A and B are shown apart, each in its own frame.
Chain A
Amino acid sequence: MSEGAKRAIEVEGLVKEFKKGPRAVDGIDLHVDEGEIYGFLGPNGAGKSTTVLMLTTLLPPTGGIARVGGFDIATSGGKVRELIGAALQEAALDPYLSGSEHMRLQTALHGVPKPERKALGAELLERVGLSEAADRTVRGYSGGMKRRLDLALALVHSPRILFLDEPTTGLDPQSRSALWAEVERLSREDGMTVFLTTQYLEEADALADRVGIIDQGKIVAEGTPDALKAEIGEATVEAIPSDPEQRGRLVEVLCRFSDADGELGGDERNGAVAVRLAKGNDGLAGVIRALDGEGISLSHLQLHEPTLDDVFLEKTGRKLEGAGDDEEDGEGAPA
């Protein structure tokens, strides 16, 4: 097989410009390999949902090329839709239908042979833990249950590629973990390719094989979570001496374990000292032994690992969490 055929999603210079407002997606390039979980991370209004709408053929792009499952999204929409499943930002459900009635409708719409529909519906509802609630109308479902039904409906026609647009937004931690577990299972056991958008760092960190970080319509960073974080540098340690007089000695000891940049700073009002550790986490034991040996006692010691938020901050000058709060919503339903 050629390298191109192993790519489930290929995007080159994809653009979406709405009639009023800036470009919601401003020339992005990305690819997702088959069987991979790709995390598309960015604040509100970054262009995540607009990208998903284009890749799922629900929004025509203004420019660029994208192929999903080998088919061009602009010219072979029908073929793309046969291969993909999608659970979009809103859990698009009918409050007056039950879970099993949703399954009945969805299996019929996707042409599942009539004798197989009921069994398939029951199996998918069981898989997402909704068997007991199957005959209740969706009006009585919790947010987590709705999301799980949404996911089950996306799987009815056994898609090769699954798009999940902020699937855990608004869910409690337990529901979130359950959904993560199912997404991982779909990828690892069923070999499904998953394109997941999220504004939660820990979600991208926990689930994604590779992450693309988008901000204001452009991809600002892409790679595995570990590689992206490693770009920022090793872990930093922050310490506050119990005796403020010992701050100078504390600086001297910590700098022995730091990289060439030396002291990073720290809040001098409370006497804090922060340095980047040359050996990352591994250096912490040595730091503690050295401080103990010098008789320097601490009131505070904290190890800070780089996060994807640090990556975002490095690339854009803003923190990811809260970055979208003041943005205009460029995410798009079609005009």
Chain B
Amino acid sequence: MTGQLERTYEVARRSFVRAWRQPATVIPSITFPLMLLAVNAAGLNSATKIPGFPTDSYISFALAVPFLQGAIFALLNSGTDLARDAETGFLQRLALSPLSGSALLAGTLGGVLAIAILQTVTYLGVGLAAGAEFEAGLAGIPILFALALTIQFAFGCIGTYFALRVPSAEAMQSMFPVFFIFLFFSSGSLPRDLIAQDWFRTIATINPVSYLIEGIRSLFITGIDGEALGLAFGISIALGAIFLSAAAVALRSRLVRT
């Protein structure tokens, strides 16, 4: 057991080091969401004047979105790295070692989470410096980190699953727009009850990403909202569990060993 834990650590370390040495992928995953936040928060600030808007600070309202964008970037970057491992034969090298499939998955996701901590700290820091409010207070900070990391874990599992099913770095990159569609058709820009178009509101209501955004958002504009947080944690844990299981199955056919 100690052996597999140590192997998991080494795989996670490699995952983190590799990401760190690709600033061209890590930096945009942090700066691009903040750039979008700056543009959208400024451009949509007048939305706070819509009757029923829950806060008069649009940046507080919108700050949840970078956390999801960061998670999508993490999904794509870790998925691309794993797909590349499958393409180059590095996965075969790992298959020849005593590394277990679950240790490989855990290590890959461990690397994702290390970058996620960096992202969370940055988004929170920049957001607060730009004037965002954090109604949940000090008690909310560990909850924010726990939720952000759970979401990143879930998205990491999604990326891992797709990387193992379609082991092509190019294919992973081309999936980028697909995941952003989930972000756009959500309650990222307006609260769900203020979305005027019925069809859009329906899509946002069935889109699980809406609840992830609303969970994080509640810490900024409401405080500690049990329902919002419960839904967000529940959905991200469920997504993580489903895609982790699917990834484990995909890994067995990718990491073929007799």
Contact yes or no, A109 B97, CB < 8 A: yes
Contact yes or no, A81 B98, CB < 8 A: yes
Contact yes or no, A88 B89, CB < 8 A: yes
Q: How far is the CB of B52 from chain A (nearest CB, A)?
A: 50
Contact yes or no, B14 A105, CB < 8 A: yes
**Which B residues are CB-close (under 8 A) to A105?**
10-11, 14
The listed residue with most B CB atoms (<10 A of its CB), out of A85, A88, A137, is A88
Contact yes or no, A106 B88, CB < 8 A: no
Contact yes or no, B17 A101, CB < 8 A: yes
The proximity string for A residues 78-103 relative to B, scoring 1 for CB distances below 8 Å and 0 otherwise, is 10111011101110111011000100
Contact yes or no, A94 B256, CB < 8 A: no
Contact yes or no, A111 B258, CB < 8 A: no
Contact yes or no, A90 B89, CB < 8 A: yes
Q: Give Cα A111–Cα B5 distance, bound, in whole angstroms.
A: 11
B47 within 8 A of A: no
Contact yes or no, A59 B256, CB < 8 A: yes
Q: Give Cα A137–Cα B14 distance, bound, in whole angstroms.
A: 13
Interface residues of B in 1-37 (CB under 8 A from A): 3, 6-7, 10-11, 14, 17-18, 21-22
B95 within 8 A of A: yes
Q: Give Cα A85–Cα B99 distance, bound, in whole angstroms.
A: 15
A284 within 8 A of B: no
Q: Give Cα A277–Cα B258 distance, bound, in whole angstroms.
A: 52
Contact yes or no, A108 B17, CB < 8 A: no
Q: In the complex, which of the residues B7, B88, B253 contacts A93, with contact meaning CB atoms closer than 8 Å?
A: B88
Q: How far is the CB of B252 from chain A (nearest CB, A)?
A: 11
**Which B residues are CB-close (under 8 A) to A90?**
88-89
Q: How far is the CB of A248 from chain B (nearest CB, A)?
A: 61
Contact yes or no, B258 A96, CB < 8 A: no
Report the stretch among A69-77, A227-235, A307-315 that lies at the interface. Answer: A69-77
Q: How far is the CB of A98 from chain B (nearest CB, A)?
A: 10
**Which A residues are CB-close (under 8 A) to B88?**
90, 92-93
A57 within 8 A of B: yes
B96 within 8 A of A: yes
Contact yes or no, B99 A109, CB < 8 A: yes
Contact yes or no, A96 B22, CB < 8 A: yes
**Which A residues are CB-close (under 8 A) to B14?**
94, 97, 101, 105
**Which A residues are CB-close (under 8 A) to B21?**
96, 137
**Which A residues are CB-close (under 8 A) to B98?**
78, 81-82, 109-111
Contact yes or no, B92 A88, CB < 8 A: yes
A278 within 8 A of B: no
**Which B residues are CB-close (under 8 A) to A59?**
256
Interface residues of A in 105-153 (CB under 8 A from B): 105-106, 108-111, 137, 153
Contact yes or no, B18 A97, CB < 8 A: yes
Q: In the complex, which of the residues A78, A108, A153, A334 contacts B10, with contact meaning CB atoms closer than 8 Å?
A: A108
**Which A residues are CB-close (under 8 A) to B11?**
105
**Which A residues are CB-close (under 8 A) to B7?**
108-109
A58 within 8 A of B: yes
Contact yes or no, B90 A93, CB < 8 A: yes
Q: In the complex, which of the residues B91, B94, B96, B257 contacts A86, with contact meaning CB atoms closer than 8 Å?
A: B96
Contact yes or no, A92 B92, CB < 8 A: yes
- Using CB atoms, name the residue of chain A closest to B258: A77
Contact yes or no, B10 A97, CB < 8 A: no
- Using CB atoms, name the residue of chain B closest to A60: B258
A187 within 8 A of B: no
Contact yes or no, B17 A58, CB < 8 A: no
Q: How far is the CB of A152 from chain B (nearest CB, A)?
A: 12
Q: How far is the CB of B256 from chain A (nearest CB, A)?
A: 5
Q: How far is the CB of B89 from chain A (nearest CB, A)?
A: 4
A50 within 8 A of B: no
Q: Give Cα A110–Cα B95 distance, bound, in whole angstroms.
A: 11
5 cross-chain pairs, A with B, having the tightest CB-CB distances, nearest first: A92-B89, A77-B258, A109-B97, A90-B89, A108-B10
Of the A-B pairs whose beta carbons lie under 8 Å apart in the complex, a sample of 29, sorted by A's number, is A57-B96, A57-B258, A58-B95, A58-B256, A60-B256, A60-B258, A73-B258, A74-B258, A77-B258, A80-B258, A81-B257, A82-B98, A84-B96, A88-B89, A92-B89, A93-B88, A93-B90, A96-B18, A104-B10, A105-B14, A108-B6, A108-B7, A109-B7, A109-B94, A109-B99, A110-B97, A110-B98, A137-B21, A153-B93
